[in-house]
Amino acid sequence: MHLGPAFFNLLRSPRLLDTIESVIGSEIYLHPLQVIRIKVPEKWVPEGYWDGMTARVDWHQDLGVLLPEADESSILSVWLPITDATVENGCLMVVPGSHRDGLALHCQPSARNRKNMLHIPDQYVPLDRAIPVPLKRGGALIFNRRMIHSSLPNTSDELRWSFDLRYQPTGQPTGRPVLPGFVARSKQHPQSEVRDYTIWADQWRQARSQHTGKGKLTIHRWDVDSPVCL
């Protein structure tokens, strides 16, 4: 985890929040999913150690990795490359219009399906509509919580760095109730905004301390024994 002031300032970037506000309004809550991703070239990693941080990320919807409490929450996914994201180094793939089709079945990884994360089986993805989305560093890809997407493997010789964030209207369930978010902007109650990075950092340290050693957290709804996943 990185809990420094530079990352916190990015989370509250006025230009970014202006864009989010144009979609969901001025009462903006930062969702607990706040990730810095480093995708290394796949050839550097032995096959048995592949995961979503090293190899391709399988097809999924961001709503699919949350609890049902967030089904009606207006969560926006925000993907920000801090190095150029290309087809060669593993940019995102999206299926335009798939957010209108509802929530698809997601399957757990297993030795039989050879996937590395919770995923939508390929037969349920309209692959003929899928397109890559290369982006220059400093750009942004913003999409609906039900958009089907994945990322390509990094076949280059360089690292691909990105930020993976979520924003939603304040007061709506996050689908990750055990992890902290904060009010990033509020025109109705500006005093509720978290502006000090140490408060945010302490929230994460407390959450980590509270849950360390207590087993795997329940963060989604899917049953590993669903027959279609085998």
Q: Which of 84-88, 115-119, 156-160, 192-196 has the lowest mean pLDDT?
A: 115-119
- pLDDT for 15: 96
**pLDDT of res. 226:** 73
Say yes or no to pLDDT of 61 above 90: yes
At 139, which amino acid appears?
G
The 10s digit of each residue's pLDDT in 79-117 is 999 999 999 999 999 999 999 999 999 998 775 666 778
Residue in 200, 146, 150, 185 with CA at minimum distance from that of residue 34: 200
Closest to 32 in 3D by CA, of 186, 219, 215:
219
Give me 85's structure tokens. Answer: 């994201």
Cα 51 from Cα 62, distance rounded (Å): 17
Query: 50 pLDDT exceeds 80?
Result: no
Tokens of 16: 């970014």
Q: What percent of the chain has pLDDT over 90?
A: 74
Per-residue model confidence as pLDDT tens digits over 219-228: 888 877 777 7
What would the two tokens of residue 180 be? Answer: 């902290």
pTM, rounded to two decimals = 0.93
Is pLDDT at 73 greater than 90 in this prediction? yes
- Res. 178: pLDDT tops 70: yes
* pLDDT tens digits for range 200-216: 999 999 999 998 887 77
Structure tokens at 102: 């509802």
Cα 51 to Cα 123: distance, rounded to the nearest angstrom:
21
Q: How far apart are CA 214 and CA 230, in angstroms?
A: 29
The CA–CA distances, whole Å, from 215 to 26, 65, 210 equal 37, 18, 11
Q: Which of these ranges, 2-6, 35-39, 221-225, has the smallest mean pLDDT? A: 221-225
The rounded percent of the chain whose pLDDT value lies above 70 is: 97
Nearest to 176 by CA among 121, 128, 221: 221
Q: Which residue has the higher pLDDT, 23 or 46?
A: 23
| Predicted local distance difference test score (pLDDT) of residue 26 | 98
Mean pLDDT of 37-62: 84
| Contact between 165 and 34 (Cβ < 8 Å) | yes
| Mean pLDDT on 140-163 | 95
For the chain, state the CA radius of gyration: 18
The pLDDT of 191-207, averaged and rounded, is: 97
**pLDDT reading at 1 higher than 90:** no
User: Which tokens in the block code for residue 108?
Assistant: 């757990």
- For residue 185, give the 3-state DSSP assignment: strand
Burial of 189 (0-12, 13-18, 19+ CB in 10 A): exposed
Q: Which residue has the tokens 């689908």?
A: 175
Taking the C-alpha atoms of residue 70 and residue 119, their distance in angstroms, rounded to an integer, is 18
β-partners of residue 164 are 35, 79
Angle subtended at Cα 116 by Cα 113 and Cα 120, rounded to the nearest 5 degrees: 65
Give me the pLDDT at residue 207, please: 93
pLDDT at 191: 98
The pLDDT of residue 114 is 63
